[in-house]
Structure formats: structure tokens, C-alpha cells
Structure 1
């Protein structure tokens, strides 16, 4: 009997020795139909890993991570993924219908299938433009309905660990607060219409001297709030040049105000010269008074002011938007 117990103990010990230790990395593999790129990029604040996609759309790689949310890029397409060392995820997607077809199998699939469903739900539930222009009662109703739908999805998803659930609940609260803040800001911007514009005073003019908003009274003023580091701002430059050329000699001034930090002053002057920026080019010298008055939290931002100094549109169409010319035509500029 003792001999039998000894043999059983040895067998159990050997079996335990054969058990693999938990992996301290993520395995990410799968198939992409109609891929947009020859590689996938996993990123958070910066690129964490570039994964090669084979000609047949297959891919496989490993990476070590800090537990949390990441972005997976396939060219212009992107999706949120939740990664944790020990996960063994297999992804399947058709890039022609990226959000609609992405699915996961394997360890960690529950959280990531939830995120895929959440993205589709958000797309169907939250119309940001409609939210920002609705009245307060309608906004609150729509936002609460969306929040409840997300909670129902989270509660219905099985196999999620407590840390992930806590993270999603926190994100939901943050999203609600962020949208409420955006709504309040939008309402404040809309309320500026027809009122006297906030003013900037003595901003350095690239052409020489100082310029204030009051110096431009008597003409319409189209203001571009931008910075040298801002990619979307720079993309608008060619369109802005075209608009300026089309309305040259008309009763309108085109003003570009750089909100760069003081240490980028030389960069600003160089860019104005190299890109041959036209119109009135001003440097705000880190004076945030004008930008704060217009609730500017992102750039580029365009502002249209009438000849009397009153706000026509505190969030005017961009130069690349055909609506801008329509607006100018309505004003008989």
C-alpha cells in the first residue's frame, strides 16, 4: 500500500512538473482578409510593436505588455484591444468591413469581443454632432440611454476579470463627464453668436509691429487659431491660401494666430517664411486670454467676426469645407 501511494505521489509530482508556467507575454495571431497594410501596429502612447502580415493575410507574434488598453492599427483602420500577459489571442477580420467583422478566439477573447461590440454600439448610439447641437434635456436623455446600453452589454458579457470591469466602468464615467463638458463648451460657443467678440491686443505681426482685433474693424475677420506642431492645422494651409486668393480685395481680413509656446517662436517665423503664409500672421506669445474666451480646447479652430466686431460664428467652417464659401456668399463678402 505504501509503495502504491509512493508511486501515485511521484506520478502527481511529475505531472505537476510538466505543467507550463504562466506566460509572461501576449501571443497575438490571426488572419486579415483584404488587409490595408503589410503590417499591424500595436500602440499606446507610442508604437509598442509592429507585426508583419504575410501575403495570405496571416500574422503571429508575441509581445510583453503592461495590462491595459491598446490600439491595433491596420493602415487607416484601428480598433481597441485589451492586452494582458498570458493572453493568447487569435483575431479574424475582413478589413473591408473592419468594425463589423472583427472577432477574437482564445485566452482573453471575452474582453476583446466585448470591446468590438462596444465600438459598434457606440457608433450606432452616439451621434456626436446631434448631441452637441441638441437642447440640454435631449442631450441628457440621449447620454443616459447610451450609458445604460453600455452597462447592459458589460453586464451580459461573461468571463471578464474584475480589473477589466472596473476599468470599463471608470471609462464610462469619464466618457459621460467628457461629453457633458464638450456639450457645455459647445453651448457656450453657440451663445456667442451676435455678441461682441472677445479681443486680442498687441499680438506680434510677422510683417512688423503689433496688431489688435480692434485694428481690423470695418471688415469681416476670419481667424485661424493654429500651431506649428499641429498636423491638421498644416493640412488646412493650402485650402486657406486658395480662399485668401479667391477673396483678395474683398472686405475681409484673413488672420492666423499662432498659439505656439515662446520656445517655438523661431519655428513659427521660419514656417511662415518657408510656406509663404499669406494674410495677417500673428504670434500670441503664450497669451491664452483670447483662446480661452473662445473655449478653444483643440486646433485648428476658425472664427468669423463681422465688421462691427461681433461674432458671426465662433466655430466657423474650415477652409477645406465648401460650407465656408457658402457662408461668405450668404454674407455678400
Structure 2
């Protein structure tokens, strides 16, 4: 599951480099039920290193990168990690329970295990707090903020790591508050008539939201440059296939800029994307995008047969809950 709090961190993690000087880290990983035969590390200054699995079933590498926050990806699953010069890290994980089973050992393990546990606490906070009324959310938010900073100070952790994480957490908490306000605004759209659109269809002509009245409409707002959007495409294709012929239509609305128009057309064609493929008339400034308060993508919206909003912030295709929701609604 892609968590809001994780995505907030992921959107800014590359800025948390302590130095541009290259450092060396020894890294090994044993992953059960892995999603890929290649583990990819991303980091500051556009760092990227692919680590293929070896004959022993291990991922092993010497990583030369700047000290700071990094990300590792196993297929469509990702997690943040902290690397500093001289670290000698080993990680174990069961990819079927991705975040819950990550354990680090060796030099640098304390800092990384702190991040793993923090991610789990962040997820729990999201699940319990983001649906609360404003007053209760604010109480829970302030309690979490205090507890997180106290936990960081009490931990036997590298001082530079503490400084880096403090900056990251400050941005994270500001992002959480903004996200909560956006969620509250989105909730007000539920049950009301949906904002409409008329956009260019990849197959020719124009298509309007009203063309689908009488059907459920699952809308994917995305762009070709958006990596998390592209990661959802295989899951969306599976959902489209499962509900083919049912009372639902899948509409993808690209907010690519006009300069990327041909890139969008070629991407849809080359990837053989299904559903109804549309492109918004004015990227982020399109009226439909603004009416739904879309400030980040991918964003998924579910509209009912009557044209009313069922969920202005619907589950992603990669979420198991989406199939549960659609199976109850769509016949």
C-alpha cells in the first residue's frame, strides 16, 4: 500500500543529502517472495544503482553515493533508507509483508531500523487520524509530532542522522496538515454532482463526462512524467480486464503539458493503454482538475451512474480495497 505520509517523504527525500562527496556503503539484502530480481537504490544528486540478484539469492553491492536519505525499490514496492560513509548494512525482508518485515543489521542498522519503525507508525496514524473531525485530528497530530521528535532525541542515533531526520520530519508534518485539509475539502464533494469535462480523446474527437451517464466512472488523473502514475498502470489494466462488460467505464485523464502532447500520444499507443484515454485542456490549470482540488497525482475519482461523486479520493488500482468496493457497486 502506498501511504500518504510515505509519499510526502518520497517527494522530497532527494533533497536531504549531507554532502556531495562520495561515500562507500557495503550493502546486502535477502528478500523472500521478492517482486523483482533487481533491487534499485535511488538517492541524492540523481543517484541510481541497480543491484541484480546473485547466484546465492542475495543482493550484494558496494554503493558509492552521498550521505543521506535514499530509497530502495523492489518492483512496485519502495521504502526509504539512510546511508552514510562506512556503513556495512544487511537487510532481510518478506516482500509479501513489505514494511512490516524489514530488519537491518550491522553498522548503520540503528538509524535504518528507526526509519522502518517510523514508517509503520506513520501508516497507523494515517489509518486512524485522517478520517477524524478537525479538533480530534489536531489533538492526535500534536501528540504524534511530540512523540516522534522525543523518540528521535532519545534514540542512540548518529547526530548527523538526527539533524537530517528533523528537517525531513518538519516537512512531513507540514505536508500532513496540508493533506488533511485537502482530504476534508474532497469529502465535501462526495454525494454531490461531479464537476464535468470535455476533453480530447486519443482515438479522435472529444469526450465528455456526461457521455457516461448511467455507468460508474473510475477516473485516473495522471501524466507521462509521473513515476507513481506509471506504476499503477499494470494494476489498472487488471481491474479494467476484470470489470470488462460491467456497468463501469475506466477513464484516464492526462494532465501533461501542451509541449508533451506527442509524448502522451506515443505513450498511450506504445503501452497499448486501455480504457478511455483523454488529455486535459490546460494541464494543472484545467477547470476539472481545479474543481477537484488536485494538487498531486496520481489521483483516482469514482463517479456514480447518476453523475454524483461516490469518492473524490478513491482507492488506487494497486489497493486490494478497490476491488472490494467495485465488486459491491458494479454489476
Is the shorter-chain TM-score for this pair beyond 0.5, marking a shared fold? yes
RMSD of the TM alignment (CA)? 3.6
Structure 2 contact 110–157 (Cα < 8 Å) conserved: no
Aligned residue for 2:162?
A: 165
Q: How much has 1:114 moved relative to structure 2? A: 2.9
Cα separation, 2, equivalents of 1:77 and 1:159: 23
Partner of residue 207, structure 2? 211
Aligned residue in 2 for 1:104: 106
- Alignment partners' CA distance in 1, 2:326 and 2:169: 39
Match of 1:177 among 146, 169, 174: 174
CA–CA separation in structure 2 for the residues paired with 1:258 and 1:318:
16
* Count of aligned positions: 293
Structure 1 position 217, deviation (Å): 4.4
Q: Secondary structure at the match of 2:244?
A: helix
Residues 220 and 137 (structure 1), Cα distance of their counterparts in 2 relative to 1, 3 Å cut? same
Q: What is the CA–CA distance in structure 1 between the aligned matches of 2:271 and 2:296, rounded to whole Å?
A: 23
Moved more, 141-150 or 275-284: 275-284
Structure 1 residue 80: Cα displacement: 0.8
Aligned counterpart in structure 2 of residue 259 of structure 1, from 241, 255, 258: 255
The alpha carbon displacement at 1:41 in A equals: 4.7
Q: Deviations over 1:235-266 (max 9, x none)?
A: 2442353255222xx4x554332222223323
- Structure 1 residue matching 2:130: 3-state secondary structure: helix
Per-residue deviation at 1:94? 3.1
Equivalent residues in 2 for 1:117-156 (5 A)? 117-124=114-121, 126-127=123-124, 128-156=126-154
Residue 224 of structure 1 corresponds to 220
**What CA distance in whole angstroms lies between the structure 1 residues aligned with 2:115 and 2:203?**
52
After superposition, the Cα gap between the structure-2 partners of 1:51 and 1:185, relative to the gap in structure 1 and judged at 3 Å, is same
What secondary structure is seen at the aligned counterpart in 2 of 1:95? strand
User: Paired residue for 2:190, among 180, 189, 193?
Assistant: 193
Distance in 2 (CA, whole Å) between partners of 1:59 and 1:92 is: 9
Confirm whether residue 322 of structure 1 aligns to residue 319 of structure 2.
Answer: no
Which stretches in structure 1 are left out of the alignment for 5+ residues?
Answer: 1-23
Question: Compared with structure 1, are the counterparts of its residues 146 and 122 closer, same or farther at alpha carbon in structure 2 (3 Å cutoff)?
Answer: farther
Secondary structure of the structure 2 residue equivalent to 1:246: coil
TM-score (norm 2): 0.71
Gaps of 5+ in 2: 1-20
Cα displacement (A) at 1:137:
2.8
1:306 counterpart residue number: 304
Equivalent residue number for residue 95 of structure 1: 93
Deviation of 1:187 (Å):
1.4
CA contact (8 A) 1:41 1:74 kept: yes
Secondary structure of the residue aligned to 2:190 is coil
What is the rounded CA distance, in whole Å, between the counterparts of 2:277 and 2:50 in structure 1? 41
Moved more, 39-48 or 282-291: 39-48
